[in-house]
Amino acid sequence: MAKIYDKGQITIPKTVREASGLAIGDRVVVESRDGEVVIRRPRGVLEFQPPQTAGEALPWPDARRAARTQRSARLAAPEQR
């Protein structure tokens, strides 16, 4: 169980952090899904992870195009839970 503090912050219990492999400084996505709050790791460019490249950064227009392609593919396919 976690408490919501006055700024909307919560502490994820240590057992949950360890089981999930979360560490200090990790970014997570917080969603409301079917009346529940879900905390998950980000997926894809739009959620903090750079696209997979051969080691070089993509120019901004290419990164944006890759992000849109990934998002479209994710939205087109039903999520597996």
pLDDT of residue 79: 59
The token duo for 13 is 């219990």
18-50 confidence digits (pLDDT tens): 999 999 888 888 888 889 999 988 876 666 555
pLDDT of residue 14: 92
pLDDT at 81 over 50: no
pLDDT of residue 15: 93
Number of residues that this document lists for the chain: 81
Give the list of residues 6+ apart from residue 26 with CB closer than 8 angstroms, or none.
Answer: 41
pLDDT of residue 5: 92
53-70 confidence digits (pLDDT tens): 566 677 888 888 888 888
pLDDT of residue 55: 64
